[in-house]
């Protein structure tokens, strides 16, 4: 059965002194586009604050209805999260389906999540969003199938969930929380293993579509000249939701773990931030953050602010950070250019990758110690281990054993300090 084409009217209130309103509208259009929704009209209103019962003033409700009829729309998308009563009142007045920004983002996440953990996180956020809205949404969503007209791809939203009573939804939320707790424990075990191995962790963070996946792929291509380790990338909002982890070995044999995280967006639903908390905590445990910024966008400083605020919300503080001003090829700024902990570069072109790798090395390996070792010939296992886990600068074979000059982290040094030549 062919799905009905989505044609939407966007509705937004510009509260006084809201400097980023124009950008938020641009972002709302892009979020709609991410779900193949055609934006056919917009209705905005400047108010001191949003109307408590209808979001917009009652006169504007009539304007929305006129635009809805004029452009043959079948959907109204509101720029802010609506209360249950606001959704109910708007739908009654407009006699059409109304969704808010939160529902729109939830729908995108539901369609993009690939791993089991990401799907559980999204479903949990959906249920937590819909639970207090069951009364207001039941009639419209049971008739029209949830979120946007195509409905949510995942099991867990729209009509299917609204057929369940509140107790069953609460039970399902509890069940998902238990499963996610288990997944969180597994993630914590993996983190402890990485910490025990003394391999530094470098985590990529940033606004959605800033070029995080492109940067990760460019680094991997530069080091390995292969496609096997590539992660998905596309010029779209929330192209990737699942955390990607790659072990990176530099030409000098120094290693670090490179992780990618979900992108941020303004007004990211609280339920989603909470649901993805364990995933975002990868950044909290990192030794270094790579904060990727689309410097070609006129609102890039606002995007940085949103990213930093979201990181603070999940407890990411006091982690050394390199600010990567990506897409410099679209600006007049000369690149690659390095200044302190900032670099202007183009991940797509690969311009600035050597400089960035040097910055990463200078930060995460700054505590490496240089020592001379003498390993007996019958302990070849140690030599093999050090060749894998340390930076072996020199190797010579002497009568008493293998002489090495190594640079290594303190945890490994402590383990093998008996072989250090004083």
What DSSP assignment string belongs to 150-164? T--SSTTSHHHHHTS
Q: What is the CA radius of gyration of the chain?
A: 26
Residue 193: CA count within 13 A, CB half-sphere: 7
Q: How many CB atoms lie within 10 A of CB 83?
A: 16
Give φ, ψ of 399 to 5 degrees.
-60, -40
Q: 48: exposed, middle or buried (C-beta count within 10 Å: 0-12, 13-18, 19+)?
A: exposed
d(CA 127, CA 133): 10
Tokens of 226: 């292969």
Tokens of 112: 């993009």
| The pLDDT value given to residue 2 | 43
Tokens of 249: 């070995």
Residue 409: partners with Cβ closer than 8 Å, 6 or more residues away: 198, 200, 365, 367, 368, 369, 390
pLDDT means per 10 residues, the chain with 422 residues, are 73 85 90 90 92 92 94 93 90 90 86 78 86 60 47 46 69 89 77 67 88 88 66 50 74 83 76 68 83 94 90 85 96 94 95 95 89 93 87 90 90 89 78
Instruction: Give this prediction's pTM.
Output: 0.74
| The pLDDT value given to residue 54 | 93
């Amino acid at each position: 059965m062919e799905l009905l084409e989505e044609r939407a009217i966007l509705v937004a209130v510009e509260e006084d002194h809201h400097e980023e309103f124009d950008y938020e509208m641009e972002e709302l259009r892009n979020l709609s586009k991410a779900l193949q929704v055609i934006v056919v009209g917009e209705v905005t209103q400047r108010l001191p604050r949003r109307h408590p019962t209808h979001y917009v003033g009652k006169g504007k409700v009539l304007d929305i209805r006129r635009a809805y009829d004029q452009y043959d729309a079948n959907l109204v998308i509101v720029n802010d999260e609506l209360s249950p009563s606001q959704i109910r009142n708007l739908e009654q007045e407009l006699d059409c389906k109304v969704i808010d920004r939160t529902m729109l983002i939830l729908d995108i996440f539901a369609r993009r999540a690939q791993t089991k953990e990401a799907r559980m996180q999204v479903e949990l956020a959906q249920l937590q969003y819909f639970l207090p809205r069951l009364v207001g949404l039941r009639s419209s969503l049971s008739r029209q199938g949830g979120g946007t007209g195509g409905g949510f791809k995942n099991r867990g939203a729209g009509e299917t969930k609204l057929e369940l009573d509140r107790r069953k939804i609460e039970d399902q939320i509890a069940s998902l929380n238990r499963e996610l707790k288990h997944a969180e424990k597994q993630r914590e075990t993996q983190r402890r293993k990485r910490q025990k191995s003394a391999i530094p962790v470098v985590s990529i963070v940033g606004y959605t579509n800033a070029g995080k996946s492109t940067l990760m792929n460019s680094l991997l291509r530069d080091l390995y000249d292969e496609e096997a380790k590539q992660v998905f990338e596309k010029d779209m909002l929330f192209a990737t939701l699942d955390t990607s982890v790659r072990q990176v070995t530099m030409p000098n044999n120094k290693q670090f773990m490179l992780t990618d995280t979900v992108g941020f967006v303004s007004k990211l639903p609280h339920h989603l931030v909470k649901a993805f908390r364990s995933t975002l905590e990868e950044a909290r445990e990192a030794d270094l953050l790579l904060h990727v910024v689309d410097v070609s966008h006129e609102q890039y400083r606002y995007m940085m602010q949103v990213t930093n605020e979201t990181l603070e919300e999940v407890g990411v503080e006091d982690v050394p950070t390199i600010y990567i001003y990506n897409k410099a090829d679209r600006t007049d700024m000369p690149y690659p250019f390095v200044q302190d902990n900032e670099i202007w570069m183009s991940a797509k072109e690969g311009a600035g990758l050597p400089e960035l790798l040097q910055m990463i090395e200078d930060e995460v390996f700054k505590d490496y110690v240089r020592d001379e070792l003498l390993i007996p010939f019958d302990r070849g296992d140690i030599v093999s281990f050090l060749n894998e886990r340390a930076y072996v600068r020199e190797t010579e074979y002497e009568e008493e054993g293998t002489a090495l000059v190594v640079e290594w982290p303190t945890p490994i040094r402590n383990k093998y300090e008996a072989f250090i030549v004083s």
